Amino acid sequence: MDALSLSIKSGKLVEKFLNSERKKENFQQIDSIAFPSSSDYKSEKLYNDVPISWGYITWVIFSILIGILIGVFAAYLSWKCNSKLDYHIGFRIIFSIFAYIFGLIYIILYFTMRWDVCQTLKEK
């Protein structure tokens, strides 16, 4: 082997070694990010950094209340119409539960598909 081919091979070996060392450093950085040790952060600072505003709390409470009211109204419509159609009590309960869970969808479908049927029947 001549000196030129030896220097090229040794240069490639040095470059390979340096690349493997860089990869090890990158993996160590990724590991420290993905799997932090307990000494990297304090547990009491985990939730104190995120401030919660009163507007957000009010919005959440308002959304929950509106959702409950829509669900109750949908369950009421389902129970009333299914009573007029003389469904068995078990079916009325099941349909009312599903109407409560899918409240807004049920109300939209009720007024588009069942309004006329339930209005023409007399309550039993």
DSSP one-letter string for 26-49:
HHHHHHHHHS--TTSS-GGGTTTT
Q: Contact 100/74 with Cβ under 8 angstroms?
A: yes
Provide, rounded to the nearest whole percent, the portion of the chain with pLDDT above 90.
Answer: 43
Residue 77, number of CB atoms within 10 A of its CB: 20
Please tell me the predicted confidence (pLDDT) of residue 29. Answer: 57
Whole-angstrom CA distances from 2 to 7, 8, 116 are 9, 10, 97
**Which pTM was predicted?**
0.56
Please tell me the predicted confidence (pLDDT) of residue 52. Answer: 72
Q: Contact 118/80 with Cβ under 8 angstroms?
A: yes
